[in-house]
Amino acid sequence: MHIEVVGTGPAVVLIHGWALHGGVFAPLLERLSAQFELHVVDLPGHGHSHDDATPLRLPFVVSAIAAATPPAVWCGWSLGGLFALHAAATMPKVRGLAMIAATPRFVRGEDWPHAVEPAVFEQFGQDLAQDYRGTLERFLALDAMGSEHARQELRTLRATLVARGEPAPRALQEGLHLLENTDLRGALPGLPVPSLWLAGQRDRLVSARAMQAAAALAPGATAHVVAHGGHAPYLGHADEVAAHLQHFVAALG
């Protein structure tokens, strides 16, 4: 698995979302590399890890990342948040957890109303087999939708998607399966480390209410809403997101 190391200071692991790769965090690297040692992950089947055959499942990926990184704060965006949360709940090496537009459960249920319908990810899975590139384009549009900088963010996501080659279809299907079927809410009450939850006010995939509800279940959690931010708030509001991360890591000592 490809993990780029940038900067010096306390270690922070960055894990990207569905279909992208670690290059999407470029705005955060510009702002954080002077203070932190950033370990930027390309998940199996994505970016420079395109040929990595590790199954895109929580225990396998988390174990591989933990084996290759020092004790660190783990920060996950969107799908990446599931890996970061699982690591925080199971790995003593995790010093803190930062969730950006991520939630322990991405689909709606009777006791979890602030999420998307299960059919959304099921439809993406069906569409991938028929229109691979068109499906990726529609997902990127959802990432940017609602943000006050939607057009610029969509251009950035499109360029990032192809910068390291297209993701492997196998990894995309496994990622959709995780988004559709994972529920890590049970890990929150016993979470052994502090956590930071950063939501985009206009996010169409992970609502701020869902992130606030998740944070309320975890001891030592702090939640913030990025005004006018979409699903990728670190693109259009990089200064604000970076400042929250800096404060959170510094407070850990």
List residues with catalytic annotation. 78, 203, 231
- What dihedral angle (degrees, nearest 10) is formed by the CA atoms of 136, 117, 79, 181? -120
Closest CA to 167 of 198, 133, 212: 133
Measured CA to CA, the distance from residue 161 to residue 143 in angstroms comes to: 12
Closest CA to 235 of 47, 87, 29: 29
- Cβ distance 230 to 236 under 8 Å? yes
- Cβ distance 184 to 89 under 8 Å? yes
The tokens for 4 are 């780029």
The tokens for 151 are 């057009």
DSSP class of residue 140?
H
Helix and strand numbers (H, E) in the chain are: 10, 7
Q: What is the per-residue burial (b if ≥16 Cβ within 10 Å, else e) of 3-14?
A: bbebbeebbbbb
Strand partners, 221: 195
Proportion of the chain in helix, strand, coil states, percent, rounded to 5? 50, 20, 35
Place of tokens 């780029």: 4
